[in-house]
Amino acid sequence: MAKDPVRVLVTGAAGQIGYALVPMIARGVMLGADQPVILHMLDIPPAAEALNGVVATTDVVEACTGVNIAVMVGGFPRKEGMERKDVMSKNVSIYKSQASALEKHAAANCKVLVVANPANTNALILKEFAPSIPEKNISCLTRLDHNRALGQISERLNVQVSDVKNVIIWGNHSSTQYPDVNHATVNTPAGEKAVRELVSDDAWLNGEFITTVQQRGAAIIKARKLSSALSAASAACDHIRDWVLGTPEGTWVSMGVYSDGSYNVPAGLIYSFPVTCQNGEWKIVQGLPIDEFSRKKLDLTAEELSEEKALAYSCLS
Ligand SMILES: NC(=O)C1=CN([C@@H]2O[C@H](COP(=O)(O)OP(=O)(O)OC[C@H]3O[C@@H](n4cnc5c(N)ncnc54)[C@H](O)[C@@H]3O)[C@@H](O)[C@H]2O)C=CC1
Ligand SMILES: O=C([O-])CC(=O)C(=O)O
């Protein structure tokens, strides 16, 4: 029997990421080839002409009405040389007002993915100003960083990226994020092997590998003068697909979610954790040992998020 259609909202639909994302969703990359979708595409009036190229609306209420999944890409993008904090004030007020629109008009149990930067803090603002949307339904994108970390390891070891798994992005989608390979493995003909053992170069893993992943977004903006649109769109599809359809057995992914205090990360931040997903719900992977090097990095990125939270509130007051 044909499935009921799912309504998917994409904000910023006329932008770089939106232009790549919309056809991926229509093609079934996000929810599967057998899942009909009804796309709601929102942008702002100055983008109306570009928006005609993808068919959509500049009316936030129309865009949010009845949506089951909201991918929030709309906002003011970081330009070359700009720190993420520079874009904060422009974006938190957008997320405050769109929170209200989603709360009033989206379907009950709508799942929200915030892509626009500062992604974690925009998601937190959205959560705070949409109190009736359950906090477990609000997330931000760190899957792009996760995929970048998998890519770095696969290149270094000359293996397929699909054979590498269980890297972790901890914290903020920013240059303080901590890409952690301490629990990552590679599928080899001789069975699963630890990434640390196979790479056998802790100086690289604790140095250049981390900074390359942390700085990849900035490096792409510098090169393209535009954001990493295709890989961001693809990562957004990965994020929603795994959230809705589940993560494979034995595999976790990174998602920015509301901290419950796991791993001594302060509660009340949207922080990227390792998660598994089943039946449309994510669960933080518990009990992973955290060494001293990692602890410092988990704390540093949490501190930045606490500062961003304070700054966001000061922008709104
Ligand atoms: N979390 C992640 O991994 C990544 C996040 N990003 C972020 O994603 C966002 C989008 O990036 P791009 O598509 O390259 O930017 P873009 O500037 O090409 O597109 C943004 C779109 O949002 C629209 N927009 C602005 N205000 C809006 C509003 N109030 N409602 C609806 N739409 C609105 C703009 O008109 C524009 O069409 C940026 O914030 C960027 O920093 C980019 C790459 C990765
Ligand atoms: O800062 C940006 O807009 C780009 C970005 O997030 C990324 O590519 O990871």
How many Cβ atoms sit within 10 Å of the Cβ of residue 190?
Answer: 6
Residue nearest to atom 5 of ligand 2 (CA): 217
Q: Using the predicted structure, report yes or no on whether residue 314 has a pLDDT greater than 70.
A: yes
Q: Using the predicted structure, report yes or no on whether residue 51 has a pLDDT greater than 80.
A: no
What confidence score (pLDDT) does residue 53 get? 66
Atom of ligand 1 nearest to the CA of 60: 30
**Which tokens go with 115?**
């892509």
Q: How far is CA 159 from CA 37, 198, 252, 255, 296, in A?
A: 35, 11, 19, 24, 30
pLDDT digits (tens, 9 = 90+) for 100-151: 999 999 999 999 999 999 999 999 999 999 999 999 999 999 999 999 999 9
What confidence score (pLDDT) does residue 144 get? 98
What confidence score (pLDDT) does residue 89 get? 82
With pLDDT > 90 as the criterion, what percentage of the chain qualifies?
84
Atom of ligand 2 nearest to the CA of 232: 8
Instruction: State the distance from the centre of ligand 2 to the C-alpha of 78, rounded, in angstroms.
Output: 7
DSSP per-residue codes, the chain:
-PPPPEEEEEESTTSHHHHHHHHHHHHTTTT-TT--EEEEEE--GGGHHHHHTT--BS-HHHHHTT-SEEEE--SPPP-TT--GGGGHHHHHHHHHHHHHHHHHHSPTT-EEEE-SSSHHHHHHHHHHT-TTS-GGGEEE--HHHHHHHHHHHHHHHT--GGGEE--EEEB-SSTT-EEE-TT-EEEETTEEEEHHHHH--HHHHHTHHHHHHHHHHHHHHHHHSS--HHHHHHHHHHHHHHHHH-PPTT--EEEEEE--SGGGPPTTSEEEEEEEEETTEEEEPP-----HHHHHHHHHHHHHHHHHHHHHHHHH-
**CB 179 near ligand 1, within 6 Å:** no
What confidence score (pLDDT) does residue 81 get? 74
Mean pLDDT of 48-63: 81
Please, what's the b/e burial string for 25-42 (b: 16 or more CB within 10 A of its CB; e: otherwise)?
A: beeebbbeeebebebbbb
Check if the beta carbon of residue 236 is closer than 8 Å to that of residue 228. Answer: no
- Is 105 catalytic? The answer is no
- 50 confidence band (pLDDT: 50, 70, 90): confident
One-letter amino acid identity for 83? Answer: E
Mean pLDDT of 46-54: 74
Mean pLDDT of 178-194: 97
**CB 14 near ligand 1, within 6 Å:** yes
Residue nearest to atom 4 of ligand 2 (CA): 217
Instruction: State the distance from the centre of ligand 1 to the C-alpha of 13, rounded, in angstroms.
Output: 8
What confidence score (pLDDT) does residue 55 get? 62
Q: Which of 38-42, 70-74, 222-226 has the lowest mean pLDDT?
A: 222-226
Please count the CA atoms within 13 angstroms of the CA of 35 that sit on its side-chain side.
18
**CB 228 near ligand 2, within 6 Å:** yes
- The C-alpha atoms of residue 12 and residue 57 are separated, in whole angstroms, by 11
What confidence score (pLDDT) does residue 226 get? 85
What confidence score (pLDDT) does residue 88 get? 86
Mean pLDDT of 87-98: 89
What confidence score (pLDDT) does residue 84 get? 61
What confidence score (pLDDT) does residue 105 get? 97
Check if the beta carbon of residue 177 is closer than 8 Å to that of residue 145. Answer: yes
pLDDT digits (tens, 9 = 90+) for 251-290: 999 999 999 999 999 999 999 999 999 999 999 999 999 9
What confidence score (pLDDT) does residue 110 get? 97
What confidence score (pLDDT) does residue 54 get? 66
Mean pLDDT of 197-206: 98
> Which listed residue (40, 146, 173, 239) is catalytic?
173
Q: Using the predicted structure, report yes or no on whether residue 85 has a pLDDT greater than 80.
A: no
What confidence score (pLDDT) does residue 315 get? 83
Residue nearest to atom 42 of ligand 1 (CA): 227
All residues at 6 or more sequence positions from 310 whose CB lies less than 8 Å from its CB, including other chains: none
Mean pLDDT of 167-189: 97
Instruction: State the distance from the centre of ligand 1 to the C-alpha of 121, rounded, in angstroms.
Output: 15
Question: pTM (2 decimals)?
Answer: 0.96
